[in-house]
């Protein structure tokens, strides 16, 4: 299944090792990393963020090597500056008001338009690209795979804290991002032409200047031959990042296989899928989601196991079974949010949580 290539983007926080606050690295990490990895390391809107992205990878094994290498590079460069990096959906206690915005025309434009919604958008996500060469097939798969997004999102929840508060959510990152326009679960599009006409209308009416300002949880990428999954918090562990990459790749391959057999998964409305997304943000893997077929609540863990069963017949062909099996480990030991909360509850210390995040970010990397 060579067509289902993968690419992974991770957004890391830059942390002062003394105060444990977010801190500007003055783009020194990016400048140093670009000398090694060129455009694989980029600045983000806030100066306390570093974004990394793999090359196109044939499988999750290649993706793991690149993700590990990129984490190691930015961690070493941060260390040289007396700083640390961390991987989580939000920083446990830093306030966005104290963070500097990167000077760049695109970011200036976004801040000018979205104002406080943009300045407060101090969050860190994981984006996974899966290669689909036909845009018609891409929109078909994107329509159907929407149903499964809350399941994977529940596994990725890694942002229970915001500005020194326990929010009660397993992922508060999504609540912060909800303030942006054109976010969340997308609508169903009957064809790629309908999707393209929607983009053209937004451009024509000055809502957006290009399709990259579509910030949905999943999108047919405007420039690459990929479907881009954008719903996950940035995972603490490399193992988690690769597990989510594997499940997204397997879902695309499975839905493609069904289409080749003149079959398809049932398509559900955005309104229904949003109910499950909210539950995932609030409870992670410890709550219940709606099984729309049964019209009943089902334990989220049981639905995740059903998801693994659903994709099982394509996993070996993709070569990602071992990486995918880490999802069973998450069901056993908890999500990043569960582990953050456990650390906090030991001493009621946000400092301890930051130290835990920064140490876990490099687990198996250095």
**Lookup: tokens for 20:** 């444990």
- Report the run of H or E that residue 41 belongs to, with start and end: strand 41-43
| Residue 26 within any structural domain of the chain | yes
Domain annotation covers residue 366:
no
**pLDDT number for residue 275:** 97
- Spatial contact of 173 and 255, defined as CB atoms under 8 Å apart: no
Backbone angles phi, psi at 226, to 5 degrees: -140, 160
**Alpha helix stretches (DSSP H) within the chain:** 28-37, 60-80, 105-114, 116-119, 135-145, 149-156, 173-177, 192-204, 238-260, 270-283, 300-318, 321-324, 326-333, 336-347, 350-361
pLDDT for residue 288: 98
Cα-only R_g, the chain: 19
Which sign does the torsion angle of CA 154, 358, 248, 61 carry?
A: negative
Residue 78 domain boundaries: 6-361
Q: Which of 5, 4, 8, 2 is nearest to 243 (CA)?
A: 8
Are the beta carbons of 16 and 61 closer than 8 angstroms?
no
| Residue whose token pair is 């260390």 | 79
Question: Is residue 188, in this structure, part of any structural domain at all?
Answer: yes
Alpha-carbon distance of 33 to 41, in angstroms, equals 6
* Angstrom distances, CA of residue 245 to CA of 31, 36, 110, 240: 27, 24, 29, 9
The pLDDT, as a whole number, for residue 239 is 98
Decide: residue 99, CB within 10 A, 0-12 exposed, 13-18 middle, 19+ buried: buried
- pLDDT for 1 equals 46
Whether 53 maps to a domain, the answer reads yes
Residue 1 domain-assigned (yes or no) = no
Task: Print pLDDT tens along the chain (366 aa).
Answer: 458 999 999 999 999 999 999 998 878 888 888 888 888 888 777 788 999 999 999 999 999 999 999 999 999 999 999 999 999 999 999 988 787 777 777 777 887 777 987 777 789 999 999 999 899 999 999 999 999 999 999 999 999 999 999 999 999 999 999 988 899 999 999 999 999 999 999 999 999 988 888 999 999 988 889 999 999 999 999 999 999 999 999 999 999 999 999 988 889 999 999 999 999 999 999 999 999 989 999 999 999 999 999 999 999 999 999 999 999 999 999 999 999 999 999 999 999 999 999 999 999 887
User: Can you give the CATH number for the domain in which 87 is found?
Assistant: 3.30.590.20
Q: Is residue 116 assigned to a domain?
A: yes
Residue 275 in any domain: the answer is: yes
Residue 235 in any domain: the answer is yes
Q: Distance between CA 316 and CA 363 in Å, rounded?
A: 27
Name the domain count of the chain: 1
C-beta of residue 298 within 8 angstroms of C-beta of residue 291: yes
């Amino acid at each position: 299944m060579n067509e289902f290539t993968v690419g992974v983007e991770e957004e890391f926080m830059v942390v002062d090792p003394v105060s444990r606050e977010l801190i500007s690295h003055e783009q020194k990490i990016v400048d140093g990393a670009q000398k090694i990895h060129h455009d694989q390391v980029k600045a983000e809107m806030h100066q306390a963020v570093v974004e990394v992205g793999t090359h196109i990878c044939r499988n999750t094994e290649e993706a793991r090597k690149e993700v590990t290498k990129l984490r190691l590079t930015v961690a070493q460069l941060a260390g040289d500056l007396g700083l640390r990096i961390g991987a989580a959906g939000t920083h446990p206690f830093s306030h966005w008001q104290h963070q500097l915005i990167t000077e760049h025309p695109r970011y200036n434009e976004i801040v000018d338009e979205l104002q406080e919604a943009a300045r407060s958008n101090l969050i860190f996500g994981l984006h996974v690209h899966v290669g689909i060469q036909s845009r018609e097939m891409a929109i078909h798969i994107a329509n159907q795979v929407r149903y499964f997004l809350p399941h994977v999102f529940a596994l990725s929840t890694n942002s229970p804290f915001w500005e020194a508060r326990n929010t009660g959510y397993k992922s508060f990152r999504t609540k912060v991002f909800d303030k942006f326009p054109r976010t969340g679960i997308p609508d169903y599009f009957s064809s790629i032409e309908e999707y393209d006409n929607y983009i053209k209308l937004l451009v024509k009416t000055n809502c957006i200047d290009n399709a990259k300002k579509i910030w949905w949880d999943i999108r047919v990428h405007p420039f690459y031959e990929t479907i881009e999954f954008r719903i996950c918090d940035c995972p603490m562990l490399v193992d988690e990042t690769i597990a989510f990459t594997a499940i997204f790749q397997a879902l695309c391959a499975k839905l493609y296989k069904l289409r080749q057999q003149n079959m398809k998964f049932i398509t559900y409305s955005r309104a229904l899928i949003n109910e499950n997304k909210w539950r995932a943000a609030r409870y992670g893997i410890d709550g219940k989601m709606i099984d729309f077929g049964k019209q009943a609540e089902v334990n989220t863990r049981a639905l995740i196991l059903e998801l693994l069963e659903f994709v099982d017949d394509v996993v070996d062909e993709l070569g990602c079974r071992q990486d995918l099996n880490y999802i069973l480990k998450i069901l056993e030991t908890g999500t990043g949010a569960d582990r953050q909360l456990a650390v906090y509850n030991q001493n009621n210390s946000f400092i301890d949580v930051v130290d835990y995040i920064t140490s876990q970010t490099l687990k198996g990397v250095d």
